[in-house]
Amino acid sequence: MTMLRQDPLTGRWVIFAADRSRRPNEYPLRQRDTSGADRCPFCPGHESETTPEILALGRPAGASADGPGWRMRVFRNMFPALVPADAPPDAATGPLLGGRPAAGRAGIGHHEVVAYSPDHAAAPHTLAPGAWTELLGVLRDRSRVFARHPDVRYVSPFCNHGPEAGATLVHPHMQIIGAPEVPLLAVGKAEGFARHRAAHGTCLLCELATAEERDGARLVGANAAWLAMAPWASRFPWELLFVPRRHGASLNQATDSELVGLGTLLVPALRGLAKRHGDCSLNIVIHSAAVDAAGEDEGDGAYHWHLEVLPRLSRPAGFEVGTGYTINAVRPEDVAAALRSDGKNP
């Protein structure tokens, strides 16, 4: 059973998914172990240990589904954070506030896994640009499908790589969740885009990208379609932000050539992180506009989609958790300079 409850003090939505406590965890000692392919449910030959596949790439025409021979495979999460429309309602009643119970609802949504390599030891930084392009294309296509579900208001493709980033299985994979409520962070970003557009008639992120490219101090790399930078107010050490030059509200609007450009820019940045921090835990998150009841992007086009790489090299402590402040020990200017130097001295 899954359910959503909204914190009346902050407006933040919380997902309760008790079944996720039963997930297998390959990190009991919080140590990376890539030797367990023989018992990994995501490895080739173990397809029966996942839910039936939704999509697979790489098998020859006519090959049987749910068997080996794939290079990428998509299936429903066996321990989902949200479940399709047959989810039961929350049996509990929220506290009465102003004569009405606090907001809550059934945990209706969608949750899929994308095993992006058959190689148990692969990692985000080991993928070639072409493999990243193919993965991003699959995420875009699945995101478009999720957006068409009437119970989905927000679609989030993401990667949890390593135990500090929330992974419980070593095998390389990404996930995508379609949620029935727009999360507080996405609401805040959408409001920021709308305010800037109303006040200045421009896109906040378009303007930011232009300014950072002109200044150059925090610029990591650029190509015809994308800019990569260490954000001015980075929350995490070695955090990176990737911004498409062409304004678009969501991953769903990305062209094939834009995904090629993103893969080309993403790989050297990830390898630069690995060069300094090894196969570190990190999250990769794609931020898009919320979707309306018709599956279209909300916000009159003000939102500008983007991708973040969030290395988990430090842990939030009491001050950060209790206030919303973050403390970052690494200046973004130093991050950008270090990663730019890789291009000069490969």
Residue 26, pLDDT score: 57
Residue 277, pLDDT score: 98
Which of the four pLDDT bands, split at 50, 70 and 90, describes residue 38? confident
| 262 SS3 class | helix
Which of the four pLDDT bands, split at 50, 70 and 90, describes residue 137? very high
Domains 2-179 and 185-344 share a fold: yes
Strand partners, 74: 55, 114
Domain 185-344 has CATH 3.30.428.10: yes
pLDDT for residue 30 is more than 50: no
DSSP 3-state percent helix, strand, coil across the chain (nearest 5): 30, 20, 45
Which of the four pLDDT bands, split at 50, 70 and 90, describes residue 37? confident
Question: 2-179 in CATH: which number?
Answer: 3.30.428.10
pLDDT for residue 106 is more than 50: yes
The share of the chain scoring above pLDDT 70, in percent, equals 93
The Cα 280–Cα 295 span in angstroms is 36
pLDDT for residue 43 is more than 70: yes
Residue 203, pLDDT score: 98
Closest CA to 152 of 34, 269, 312, 296: 296
pLDDT for residue 57 is more than 80: yes
Helical (H) or strand (E) element with 104: strand 104-106
pLDDT for residue 346 is more than 70: no
**How confident is the model over 89-109, as a mean pLDDT?**
86
Which of the four pLDDT bands, split at 50, 70 and 90, describes residue 87? low
Minimum mean pLDDT range among 12-26, 27-41, 144-158, 286-300: 27-41
Find out whether 124 and 165 touch, Cβ atoms under 8 Å: no
Residue 338, phi then psi, degrees to nearest 5? -65, -45
Find out whether 190 and 289 touch, Cβ atoms under 8 Å: yes
pTM value is: 0.94
Convert the pLDDT of each residue in 216-265 to its tens digit: 999 999 999 999 999 999 999 999 999 999 999 999 999 999 999 999 99
Segments making up each domain of the chain, as ranges: 2-179, 185-344
Q: Hey, what are 307's tokens?
A: 């991708």
